[in-house]
């Protein structure tokens, strides 16, 4: 029986720790946890002569999803679960990607700890950290737009031209603000109460004369992320009937990073 087929209260402590670790692994393009998206196909404990190993299978919406995104999620999953095993004193981790056109290549690279460039060789156009940074910046932009739009809707006296003066302290308390603060921290940007919300990728405040254009571009980024997330969820459910039951609801007003999966319906 896989962890996807058990209720949270029936999971072993290792399974529970493993789910929580996988809940920190993000799809970089969709800014959402792989557990929330339903990308975790199975998680098993494997008894290897008194040592408990972890075997994880991941799945993606199509067989031609970007190989670099696929590798990044697989690699991050292995790192997250390896930390769980180290904290428990041992046990190996095997992460495998199913039904992808580069599954064999990615799985061999993961098993050998070859790294991204070691796995793809000359096909690896850039370092994974560059890719990660690009999408962290997009996630931050989308999170800022969510929080600012929430504020503008709550305070009718404010307009787009006022956005340049908004500080973190001015945002409404709640998930949207918390998500923005997490994303700023991940980029090394200021998170104190006096920090301006409308900033570029490097933390430089957006000039009042262009803040309206900045907000509209940020909104476009957020809509693109949310639209892609909906599209990929639908593709996954079409490819793997029942996968939608492993997907946590997406709240458009926040940037969710959920840990728990919904319980799979028995087959």
- Domain with residue 49: its CATH number is 3.30.300.130
Model confidence band, residue 49 (pLDDT cutoffs 50, 70, 90): confident
Do 149 and 116 lie in a common domain? no
Residue 92 tokens, joined: 């190996």
Do 26 and 119 lie in a common domain? yes
Task: Please indicate, yes or no, if residue 234 is contained in any of the structural domains.
Answer: no
More confident residue, 264 or 249: 249
Torsion over CA: 142, 144, 149, 154 (sign)? positive
Do 20 and 112 lie in a common domain? yes
Residue 169 near residue 190 (C-beta atoms within 8 A):
no
pLDDT of residue 10: 59
Predicted TM-score (pTM) of the model is 0.83
Task: Check pLDDT > 50 for residue 260.
Answer: no
pLDDT in tens, 183-219: 999 999 999 999 999 999 999 999 999 999 999 999 9
Domain enclosing residue 176, as ranges: 130-225
- Calpha distance 62→69 (Å, rounded): 12
pLDDT in tens, 144-173: 999 999 999 999 999 999 999 999 999 999
pLDDT of residue 12: 79
Do 115 and 166 lie in a common domain? no
Do 102 and 7 lie in a common domain? yes
Do 40 and 118 lie in a common domain? yes
Q: Mean pLDDT of all residues in the chain? A: 88
pLDDT of residue 9: 57
Task: Check pLDDT > 50 for residue 140.
Answer: yes
Task: Please indicate, yes or no, if residue 172 is contained in any of the structural domains.
Answer: yes
pLDDT in tens, 101-126: 999 999 999 999 998 888 988 777 66
Model confidence band, residue 11 (pLDDT cutoffs 50, 70, 90): low
Number of domains in the chain: 2
Residue 179 near residue 143 (C-beta atoms within 8 A):
yes
- Calpha distance 262→247 (Å, rounded): 6
Average pLDDT over residues 248-265: 45
Out of 100, 125, 150, pick the residue that ends a domain.
125
Do 44 and 120 lie in a common domain? yes
Model confidence band, residue 7 (pLDDT cutoffs 50, 70, 90): low
Do 110 and 217 lie in a common domain? no
Average pLDDT over residues 29-41: 94
Do 163 and 57 lie in a common domain? no
Task: Check pLDDT > 80 for residue 257.
Answer: no
Do 19 and 81 lie in a common domain? yes
SS (H, E, C) the chain: CCHHHCCHHHCCHHHHHHHHHHCCCEECCCCEEHHHHCCEEEEEEEEECCEEEEEEEECCCCCCCCHHHHHHHHHHHHHHHHHHHHHCCCCCEEEEECCCCCHHHHHHHHHCCCHHHHHHHHHCCCCHHHHHHHHHHHHHHHHHHHHHHHHHHHCCCCCHHHHHHCEHHHCCCCHHHHHHHHHHHHHCCCCCCCCECCECCCCCECCHHHHHHHHHHHHHHHHHHHHHHHHHHHHHHHHCCCHHHHCCCCCCCCCCCCCCCCCCCCC
pLDDT in tens, 51-91: 889 999 999 999 999 999 999 999 999 999 999 999 988 89
């Amino acid at each position: 029986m896989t962890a996807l087929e058990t209720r949270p209260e029936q999971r072993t402590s290792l399974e529970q720790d493993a789910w929580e670790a996988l809940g920190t692994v993000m799809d970089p393009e969709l800014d959402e946890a792989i557990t929330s998206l339903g990308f975790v196909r199975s998680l098993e404990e494997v008894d290897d002569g008194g040592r408990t190993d972890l075997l994880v299978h991941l799945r993606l919406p199509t067989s031609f999803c970007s190989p670099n995104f696929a590798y990044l999620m697989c690699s991050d999953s292995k790192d997250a679960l390896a930390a769980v095993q180290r904290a428990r004193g041992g046990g190996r981790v095997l992460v495998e990607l199913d039904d992808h056109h580069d599954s064999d290549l990615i799985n061999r690279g993961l098993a050998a700890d070859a790294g991204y460039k070691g796995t793809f060789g000359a096909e690896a156009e850039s370092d994974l950290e560059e890719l990660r940074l690009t999408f962290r910046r997009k996630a931050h932009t989308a999170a800022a737009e969510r929080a600012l739009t929430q504020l503008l809707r709550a305070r009718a006296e404010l307009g787009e031209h006022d956005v340049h003066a908004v500080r973190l302290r001015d945002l409404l308390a709640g998930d949207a603000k918390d998500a923005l603060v997490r994303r700023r921290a991940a980029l090394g940007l200021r998170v104190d109460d006096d920090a301006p919300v409308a900033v570029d990728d490097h933390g430089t405040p957006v000039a009042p004369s262009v803040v309206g254009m900045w907000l509209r571009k940020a909104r476009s980024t957020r809509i693109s992320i949310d639209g892609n997330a909906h599209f990929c969820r639908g593709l996954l459910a079409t490819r793997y009937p029942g996968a939608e039951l492993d997907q946590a609801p997406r709240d458009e007003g926040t940037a969710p990073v959920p840990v728990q999966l919904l319980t799979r319906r028995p087959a």
